[in-house]
């Protein structure tokens, strides 16, 4: 009998990308095959994100597209991930298309649920676990130069706007040794860069080691040339981590340091547990130790009751820090969060949009200037693969800036670390020539 073919579509963050690889591994072990389109699939799984309204709408849109396929040939449809966890039975009840609903801590139950669904029985598994880390599962990755490794799961920070503590449950870390083994296996298969993932990597603890220990241990692995991590929370960035990052040549000079807002009242309403002054002091401390560090951030504009004067403080802080790039979001109220229960979502949508566009404008100007300042410099980049055109390589600098350069000569291939000279720059991309 032909193995049932599964098509998985992934939405949301890198943690979800990683989880899709875990799900592939679990399904492969049970005899499932994979296909890259819904048209040739027996099972379609959507690994969903719940972080903002837009993320939800995207999933509903994709479900709509699957309707004719389901009617035509009884496709099994599963919704996985954060939206499944957040909406639970509501989603199963409200949408006749969905057969299976599985939250981020329940993927081991997926094969059994899919078998039942093929026999016509709907099912769900949405229990959150205090222990599940999938540490024993080797993710089924598309082999390449870069890979993610989830080193911890869940989040205990309860920022008032955020749904993640509810969709991914309590914080838990994997043992250092299981992460190191996974990275060693990746190095052996030709991977050059690993990115260690967690909602707040500074909370990583395996009983013996902290995150600085883990970062150092992974960077020491032969064959791994670059180590990245995301995200650290600004409330607890220890000197030990800064030393590890600054002192080890393989740990990249890039820190993603989510700001969210630059006004103290809003930061407090968000439960971020740091002040504007503390954040700025942290940036100064990081820059004293690593003057060339690339800093990036996340910002939310139009959080509950944010005034124009308070927003102006966020704008001012963004300008003061001079990030290399930033993800800027409109506040989007999420069901079940503390903000949704306690504070009215009272900034009009048009005002949120206008604040976002002012920040985007400011950031674009700064990104362009920072990229332009690199013109004429020679930097080392890691080649990831083809660029948009087949005669170009796409690579990244140590600071994570996308760099494109022409294919000349034959010695360069994906995984090569090569010096290039920057010749031109846009807001998002550097253009270069082999040096």
Residues that bind ligand SF4 (CB under 6 A): 155, 157-159, 162, 164-165, 199-200, 233
- Return the residues of window 237-256 that contact ligand F3S according to CB under 6 A: none
Q: Is 192 in the site for ligand F3S (CB under 6 A)?
A: no
Of 193, 231, 296, 371, the one binding ligand SAH by CB under 6 A: 231
Is residue 48 within 8 Å of 17, Cβ to Cβ?
Answer: no
For residue 301, the SS3 value is strand
User: Read out DSSP for 378-411?
Assistant: EEEEEEEEE-SSTTEEEEEETT--EEEEE--SSS
Both structure tokens of 163: 């749904």
Rounded to a whole number of angstroms, the CA Rg of the chain reads 22
Q: Is 100 in the site for ligand F3S (CB under 6 A)?
A: no
Select from ligand F3S, ligand SAH, ligand SF4, none the partner in contact with residue 50, using the beta carbon and a kind-dependent cut-off of 5 to 8 Å. ligand F3S
Least distance CB 47 / ligand F3S (angstroms): 8
Both structure tokens of 148: 């993610």
Phi then psi for 17, rounded to 5 degrees? -60, -45
- Choice between 162 and 259, CB closer to ligand SF4: 162
Both structure tokens of 158: 């309860």
Is residue 5 within 8 Å of 37, Cβ to Cβ?
Answer: no
Q: Is 168 in the site for ligand F3S (CB under 6 A)?
A: yes
Least distance CB 404 / ligand F3S (angstroms): 28
Select from ligand SF4, ligand SAH, ligand F3S, none the partner in contact with residue 359, using the beta carbon and a kind-dependent cut-off of 5 to 8 Å. none
Least distance CB 46 / ligand F3S (angstroms): 12
- Choice between 141 and 233, CB closer to ligand SF4: 233
Of 8, 51, 242, 425, the one binding ligand F3S by CB under 6 A: 51
Please give the size of the binding site for ligand SAH, defined by CB under 6 A: 16
- Residues with Cβ within 8 Å of 73's Cβ and at least 6 positions away in sequence, in order, are none
Give the C-alpha separation, 197 to 17, whole Å: 11
- Choice between 168 and 396, CB closer to ligand F3S: 168
- Choice between 51 and 219, CB closer to ligand SAH: 51
In the block, which residue shows the tokens 């707040």?
200
Select from ligand F3S, ligand SAH, ligand SF4, none the partner in contact with residue 203, using the beta carbon and a kind-dependent cut-off of 5 to 8 Å. none
Of 233, 324, 355, 394, the one binding ligand SAH by CB under 6 A: 233
Least distance CB 128 / ligand F3S (angstroms): 13
For residue 10, the SS3 value is strand
For residue 12, the SS3 value is coil
Q: Is 282 in the site for ligand F3S (CB under 6 A)?
A: no
Which stretch in 9-17, 169-177, 352-360, 394-402 sits in contact with ligand F3S by CB under 6 A? 9-17
Local structure of residue 40 (DSSP, 8 states): G
Q: Is 51 in the site for ligand SAH (CB under 6 A)?
A: yes
- Choice between 15 and 98, CB closer to ligand F3S: 15
User: Read out DSSP for 167-214?
Assistant: HH-S-EE--HHHHHHHHHHHHHTT--EEEEE-TTGGG-B-SS-BHHHH
Least distance CB 157 / ligand SF4 (angstroms): 4
> Which ranges constitute the DSSP H helices of 41-169?
53-73, 81-94, 110-118, 164-168
Among 71, 195, 128, smallest CA distance to 336 is for 128
Q: Is 164 in the site for ligand F3S (CB under 6 A)?
A: yes
- Choice between 82 and 261, CB closer to ligand F3S: 82
- Cα-based torsion angle of the residue sequence 103, 140, 327, 192 in order, rounded to the nearest 10 degrees: 150
Site residues, ligand SAH (CB under 6 A): 51-52, 161-162, 199-200, 231, 233, 258, 260, 298, 300, 329, 331-332, 334
């Amino acid at each position: 009998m032909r193995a049932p073919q599964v098509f998985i579509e992934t939405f949301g963050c890198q943690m979800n990308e990683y989880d899709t690889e875990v799900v592939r591994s679990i399904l492969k072990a049970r005899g499932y095959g994979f296909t890259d389109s819904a048209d040739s699939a027996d099972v379609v799984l959507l690994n969903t994100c719940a972080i903002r309204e837009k993320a939800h709408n995207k999933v509903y849109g994709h479900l709509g597209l699957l309707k004719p396929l389901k009617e035509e040939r009884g496709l099994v449809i599963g919704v996985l991930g954060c939206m499944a966890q957040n909406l639970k039975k509501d989603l199963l009840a409200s949408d006749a298309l969905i057969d299976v609903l599985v939250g981020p801590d329940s993927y081991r139950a997926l094969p059994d649920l899919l078998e039942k669904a093929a026999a016509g029985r709907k099912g769900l598994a949405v229990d959150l676990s205090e222990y599940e880390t999938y540490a024993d599962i080797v993710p089924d990755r598309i082999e390449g130069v870069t890979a993610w490794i989830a080193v911890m799961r869940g989040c205990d920070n309860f920022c008032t706007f955020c749904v993640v503590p509810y969709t991914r449950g309590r914080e838990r870390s994997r043992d250092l040794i299981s992460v190191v083994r996974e990275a060693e296996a990746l190095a052996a298969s030709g991977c050059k860069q690993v990115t260690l993932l967690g909602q707040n990597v500074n909370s990583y603890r395996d009983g013996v080691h902290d995150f600085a220990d883990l970062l150092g241990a992974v960077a020491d692995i032969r064959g791994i040339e670059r180590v990245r991590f995301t995200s650290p929370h600004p409330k607890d960035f220890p000197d030990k981590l800064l030393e590890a990052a600054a002192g080890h040549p393989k740990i990249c000079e890039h820190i993603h340091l989510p700001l969210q807002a630059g006004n103290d009242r809003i930061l407090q309403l968000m439960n971020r547990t740091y002040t504007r002054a503390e954040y700025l002091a942290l940036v100064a401390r990081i820059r004293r130790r690593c003057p060339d560090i690339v800093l990036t951030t996340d910002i939310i504009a139009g959080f509950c009751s944010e005034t124009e004067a308070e927003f102006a403080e966020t704008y001012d802080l963004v300008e003061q820090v001079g990030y290399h790039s930033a993800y800027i979001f409109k506040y989007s109220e999420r069901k079940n969060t503390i903000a949704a229960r306690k504070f009215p979502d009272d900034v009009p949508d048009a005002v949120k949009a206008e604040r976002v566009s002012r920040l985007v404008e400011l950031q674009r100007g700064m990104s362009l200037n920072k990229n332009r300042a690199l013109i004429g410099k020679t930097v080392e980049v890691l080649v990831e693969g083809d660029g948009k055109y087949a005669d170009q390589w796409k690579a990244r600098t140590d600071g994570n800036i996308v760099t494109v350069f022409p294919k000349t000569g034959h010695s360069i291939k994906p995984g090569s670390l090569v010096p290039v000279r920057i010749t031109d720059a846009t807001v998002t991309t550097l253009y270069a020539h082999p040096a």
